[in-house]
Amino acid sequence: MNKKKPLLLLTLLTASLLAGVAGAQQEINISREVNVIGGVKPLPIALSGFSGEAAAVLKFDLEVQGFKVVDDSSAQYELAGGNNGDVHGQLNDRTARTSLLAKAYSGGTTRTQAHALADDVVSAVFHMPGIGQTKIAFKVDTGANSEVYVSDFDGHNAQAVTHDNTIVAAPTWVPRHLALFYVSYKLGNAHIWFHNLATGARDVFARYGGSNLSPAVSPDGSKVAMILSKSGWVDLWVCNIDGSGLKELTHSPQDESSPCWSPDGKWILFAGKVGERRVLRKISPEGGEAQTISTAGAGSPSEPDWSPDGKWIVFTSQYSRGFNICVIPAAGGPATVVVEGEDPSWSPNSRTVVFARRTGNGRVLSLLDVFTKQVKDVKQISGSDSQPSWAK
Amino acid sequence: MKTKYIFNLLSLGLVLTSLATTGCHKRPATLTPLPGARTGHIGDVPPTQPLGFDNNTTTSTGIPPVGNPIPMSKDGHVGWIPNTDALKAETVYFDFDSSAIKSGEQSKIDNVAAYLNQNPQAAVRVEGNCDERGTEEYNRSLGERRALAVREYLVRAGVAADRVDTVSYGEDRPAVPGHDEAAYKMNRRDDFVVLTPPQ
C-alpha cells in the first residue's frame, strides 16, 4: 500500500551487501526482511529558521520517523522555514538537487502546525502518511488505582478519560472512531467497557462471570476479541460489536492473553501455550485450529501487535532479567530484538511503535522508530504509564 | 560540492520566485489549513463517528462446556459485604509463572472449605495475584488461572461452585512492594475474601 522507496533502496543495498553477490533472489528477499528491522541508517536532515516549540516538535517528530537532525554540513536534506507567526517550511534534497515541498500552515497552534509540517516531510520522502496528528490511549497507575488517559502521540495534551478510583487496564481504540474499549473494575470485577469519547457516553460491554479481559476490535470494527473465564477456563472469545454472537475460540486449561487482529481481519493473534511453553498463536475468528507462529530467538512472547501494512508482528519477549521489544515477519521467523521494553503498539503508518519501559519509578512510555532503532520518551505525566494503544 | 550548493540555491530561488508570484501574503501557494485551535477536551480529535450500541450488555448463555472446567455463575455476589480479615491466614502462594497448587498450601484451602461449611450463608471471593515479572495482560490471565485453580479445589472439596467468585488483579495489587524474590514470592498469591449477604 505505502510506497517506501528510499527505505526499499537502502534495504536492498544492505541485503545485496550481505548476500555478497546479487545472484540468489530468494536469499536477498529473506535477508532483506530480517535486516530492515533496526538496520537502516536514519536520513540526515538539517533544520534552519525554526525556534522554540516548533523546532522541538520538528526534531522529535522527524527523529521517530526515520530522520536524524544534524548540523548543516552533513545533511542530505534541509528543511528551511520559520515560525514567526504561522509555521512555514521548504524541504530540499541536496543529493537529488530537488525541492520536495514548500508549505505554510494556518489555524491550530504552533504545535499542530509544526506536526503538520513534519508529516509533510515524512510524506514527501517516505511516501507514507506521518504520525504527527495521531493519538494514543494508555493506562496511568497512581498507586493503588489507575485511570485511562488519551493524548497526542508524543504525550502532549494528555487528558483523563476515566475518574473511577479503581483499576483499569488494556485501553484499545475502535478503528477510525473516537472510541475506546478498556477493562475497568468499577463494578467489582474485571469487566470490558465501551467508551464513546465523542459524546462521553459509556457502557459495560462484557460482564460475564469471572474475568473479562484484553479487548481487541477487528480492523473493520465489526467484532471484538477478548479473554473470558466464564467457562471456568481462561480462554479466547470473540463476539460481534453489538455483543451478539459470542463464540469460544480456544478451550484449554492453559491461559491465553493479549489478542490482536491481522489487518485483513482473517486472524486473531494471541499469546498462548503449547504444553508449558509460551508461544504466539493465531486462529481464525470463525474458529478452527490455532497455529503457532515462530518467534525463534525470542522466548516467552506475549502482547503481539500486527502492523497495519500486514508485514510485521511486534511483541514483548520476557527473559530472566526483563523484557525486550522484538519484531518478526508476519508469517513468523527469526526475531529481531530491537530495544528493552514491553507492550508495543504500531503507529498507523507501520513505521513507529509506542511501548512502555520500566524505570526505578515505574513505567514510562517511549517511541521506537523500528527501522532505525531510534528511541525517544514521550512527555510523561505523573504516575506509572503503561499499556499504550495507538489510534488507527 | 560547490556546484551542488549552487544548484540548491538556484532551485531555492525558483521555488521562492514561484511562491512570490502566486501567493498574496508572501506565503507559499500550498497553504494547508488546520483544524481550529484545541479547546482542550477529548471531543477535538478527528476522525469521529459515534458508534451505536444496543443497551443490553452481553449476557451469559449459561451453556456448560464439556469437560473439566467449572462454569462461573453470572456476575457473582454483587453487593455482598466483604470481610478481608476472616481468612487472612489462609493466603495461598504459588511458584513463578505457575498456577499449580503446591502440596504444602492445600491445608489452607481445606481450612477455607471448612469455614464455608460452618458458615452456610457465606460465599468467598478468591483474588488471584502475580509478581511483576510478566507483562501486564499475561499476568491478568495468570492471576485468573490461579484463582480458578483454587476454586476448582474448593468445589472438589464439596463447596458449591456458585459460592465461589474469582477476580484477577494481575500485578496491580502487590502485597509487598519491592523488586526482588523476597517481595515476588509474597505477591504470587490467592487471597480469600469472605462475602456475606447484605442486611
Residue of B nearest to A113 (CA): B34
Q: Are residues A88 and A173 in the same domain?
A: no
DSSP per position, B48-60: --PPP--SS-B--
Q: Does residue A174 form part of some domain? A: yes
> What CA–CA distances, in Å, run from A341 to A136, A165, A357, B171?
17, 27, 4, 17
Mean of pLDDT over chain A? 91
**Helices and strands: H and E segment counts in chain B:** 4, 6
Q: Give the pLDDT score at B32.
A: 65
Closest by Cβ to A209, choosing from B15, B32, B72 = B72
When pLDDT is averaged across residues A206-210 and rounded to a whole number, the result is 96
Residue of B nearest to A93 (CA): B8
The C-alpha cell 485483513 sits at A264
Q: What's the pLDDT tens digit per position in A66-118?
A: 999 999 999 999 999 999 999 999 999 999 999 999 999 999 999 999 999 99
Q: Are residues A80 and A149 in the same domain?
A: no
Q: Residue A174: give its domain's CATH number.
A: 2.120.10.30
Q: Give the pLDDT score at B57.
A: 31
The parent domain of residue A375 ranges over: 135-390
- In a mutational test of the A interface, the residue from B34, B125, B153 whose CB has the highest number of chain A CBs within 10 Å is B34
Q: Are residues A182 and A104 in the same domain?
A: no
Q: Does residue A46 form part of some domain? A: yes
In DSSP terms, which residues pair with A261 in a beta bridge? A268
Of residues A39 and A385, the one with the higher pLDDT is A385
* Shortest alpha-carbon distance between residue B101 and chain A (Å): 14
Q: Are residues A259 and A376 in the same domain?
A: yes
Whether A206 and chain B come into contact, CB under 8 Å, resolves to yes
Q: Are residues A139 and A48 in the same domain?
A: no
Q: Does residue A2 form part of some domain? A: no
pLDDT band at A149 (very low <50, low <70, confident <90, very high): very high
Q: Does residue A157 form part of some domain? A: yes
* Shortest alpha-carbon distance between residue B115 and chain A (Å): 22
Q: What's the pLDDT tens digit per position in A273-321?
A: 998 899 999 999 999 999 999 999 999 999 999 999 999 999 999 998 8
- Provide the residue type at A362 as one letter: G
A70-107 as b/e: b if 16+ CB within 10 A: beeeebbbbbbbebeebbbbbbbbbeeeebbbbbbbee
pLDDT band at B30 (very low <50, low <70, confident <90, very high): low
Cα–Cα dist A238/A217, whole Å: 10
Q: Does residue A4 form part of some domain? A: no
Answer whether B74 sits within 8 Å of A209, measured CB to CB.
yes
Q: Residue A96: give its domain's CATH number.
A: 3.40.50.11830
Which pTM was predicted? 0.84
Q: Are residues A266 and A201 in the same domain?
A: yes
- Written as nine digits, the cell of A260 is 490482536
Given a cut of 70, whether residue A28 has pLDDT beyond it is no
Counting Cβ atoms within 10 Å, is residue A379 exposed (0-12), middle (13-18) or buried (19+)? Answer: middle
Residues of B in contact with A162 (CB under 8 A): none
Cβ neighbours for A181, distance < 8 A, ≥ 6 positions apart: A171, A172, A174, A192, A193, A194, A195, A205, A215, A217, A224
Q: Are residues A53 and A193 in the same domain?
A: no
Cα–Cα dist B168/B145, whole Å: 8
Domain end, chosen from A64, A92, A126, is at A126
Whether A163 and chain B come into contact, CB under 8 Å, resolves to no
Q: Are residues A121 and A164 in the same domain?
A: no
In DSSP terms, which residues pair with A179 in a beta bridge? A196
Whether A252 and chain B come into contact, CB under 8 Å, resolves to no
**Nearest-5° Cα angle at A79, A4 to A12:** 25
Cα–Cα dist B29/B32, whole Å: 9
Q: Does residue A35 form part of some domain? A: no
Domain end, chosen from A81, A96, A126, is at A126
Q: What is the ipTM of this complex?
A: 0.88
Q: Does residue A120 form part of some domain? A: yes
Cβ neighbours for A13, distance < 8 A, ≥ 6 positions apart: none
pLDDT band at A36 (very low <50, low <70, confident <90, very high): confident
Q: What's the pLDDT tens digit per position in B54-77?
A: 333 333 332 333 347 899 887 789
Given a cut of 70, whether residue B1 has pLDDT beyond it is no
Given a cut of 60, whether residue A265 has pLDDT beyond it is yes
Q: Are residues A204 and A256 in the same domain?
A: yes
Cα–Cα dist A218/A64, whole Å: 27
> What CA–CA distances, in Å, run from A220 to A264, A265, A312?
9, 7, 19
Q: Are residues A153 and A119 in the same domain?
A: no
- Provide the residue type at A50 as one letter: F
Cβ neighbours for A114, distance < 8 A, ≥ 6 positions apart: A50, A53, A54, A57, A58, A61, A83, A87, A132
Share of chain B above pLDDT 70, in %: 66
Q: Are residues A139 and A119 in the same domain?
A: no
User: Number of structural domains, chain A?
Assistant: 2
Whether B136 and chain A come into contact, CB under 8 Å, resolves to yes
Q: Give the pLDDT score at A321.
A: 80
Q: Are residues A376 and A256 in the same domain?
A: yes
Q: What's the pLDDT tens digit per position in B137-152?
A: 999 999 999 999 999 9
Domain end, chosen from A75, A97, A126, is at A126
Residues of B in contact with A318 (CB under 8 A): 133-135
Residue of B nearest to A255 (CA): B141
Q: Does residue A1 form part of some domain? A: no
pLDDT band at B33 (very low <50, low <70, confident <90, very high): low
Q: Give the pLDDT score at A39.
A: 85
Whether A315 and chain B come into contact, CB under 8 Å, resolves to no
> What CA–CA distances, in Å, run from A351 to A91, A113, A208, A313, B188?
21, 21, 37, 12, 37
Closest by Cβ to B8, choosing from A94, A150, A242 = A94
Q: What's the pLDDT tens digit per position in A328-384?
A: 999 999 999 999 999 999 999 999 999 999 998 889 999 999 999 999 999 998 889
Whether A141 and chain B come into contact, CB under 8 Å, resolves to yes
- In a mutational test of the B interface, the residue from A88, A103, A255 whose CB has the highest number of chain B CBs within 10 Å is A255
* Shortest alpha-carbon distance between residue B117 and chain A (Å): 22
